[in-house]
Amino acid sequence: MELTETIMYQASFEKNPEFEGVFWMGVKTTGIFCRPTCTARKPKPENVEFFDTTKDAILKGYRPCKVCKPLENPDETPEEILKLMDDLSADPSLKFKDVDLVERGLQPATVKRWFLKHHGMTFHAFQRMFKINSAFKKLQQGENVLDVALDNGYESLSGFNESFKSIFGTSPKNSKMEKIVDLKRIETPLGTMIACANENGICMLEFSDRKSLSKELEDISKYFKANIVQGENPHFKTLEKELEEYFERKRFDFTVPLAPVGTDFQKNVWENLRTIPYGTTRSYQQQADILGNPKAVRAVANANGLNKISIIIPCHRVIGTNGTLTGYGGGIWRKQKLLELEQAILF
């Protein structure tokens, strides 16, 4: 689909979120530029022009709108909260109280609202979950329950037992048979992503605004018979490093281990996706042909849509036979940006 000014104006008029990141609209009468979803009153079509990047709008003399803040990523983790989470990762026994947040220049109510919105829990609940994640792994390695409780900042064994049971449904001494999948937010140039990993590798990497995210987390939990808990994982360090290199155009293949969740057929399709070279695209029909089943185009397309490990398993490299950018769980605009990054398409 050619992105005409008529289509962009209509998308802006309707505040269509699918066009977030695709274009920005400059308003000639006010000298400001907005994102497509801006709630400010829409100007007449003859009073606007469109830009592919915020840089283009600024170079043309436009100022960022104070309503929709087009230079900010609304889902991005604020720097000060990233620092909090980094400190917790380095030492899970830390316990930040409201007074500690104030000393860091943070408002406890603001921090609480951010964690409720992006993690579904308060910051204090997040801290407890992070500690329990760390404790769980130590118990799995055979450490003593009391030592683990004290090492993770608990003042009593009963308090540790209660917190542990509230998450895992069992006491620490009976935790040997339990499993966990770690979860972490990762910031990228195309938005916040949610990563999940177990001891074998990455099992999910999705943009945080994907509509089916909660369903995918449920599937992962059932597949591994595990609790999904906020926490660190050695595979996350590799993932973050390789993602950063990828977006800087310094990496063309990923080496981080994967633990995909799906049927044998789906895993076969996803493995085939990983053979599509960087900087190229393939059609669904070509995919089906390579798999040796030319009539399985629809099944292949469905499997692509169920891929839970974006970018690394590059379903964004599959396009329609006529060259159109077909559906993508992270949004068509992200598919376009990824292919532009890889220089597989030029716009």
Q: Is 147 exposed, middle or buried (0-12, 13-18, 19+ CB in 10 A)?
A: exposed
Rounded-to-integer distance, Cα 141 and Cα 150, Å = 16
The answer to whether the CB of 61 falls within 8 A of the CB of 54 is no
Q: Which of 38, 196, 203, 315 is catalytic?
A: 315
Catalytic: 38?
A: no
Alpha-carbon distances of 61 from 12, 26, 55, 57, rounded to whole Å? 21, 10, 10, 7
Q: Nearest Cα to 163, choosing from 133, 184, 204? A: 133
**Residue 64, amino acid:** P
Sign of CA dihedral 227, 228, 230, 235: positive
Copy the structure tokens of residue 26.
């400059």
Pairing type for strands 48-51 and 32-34 reads unpaired
Tell me which H or E stretch contains 25.
strand 24-27
Place of tokens 């036979």: 321
The SS3 assignment for 291 reads coil
Catalytic residues: 315
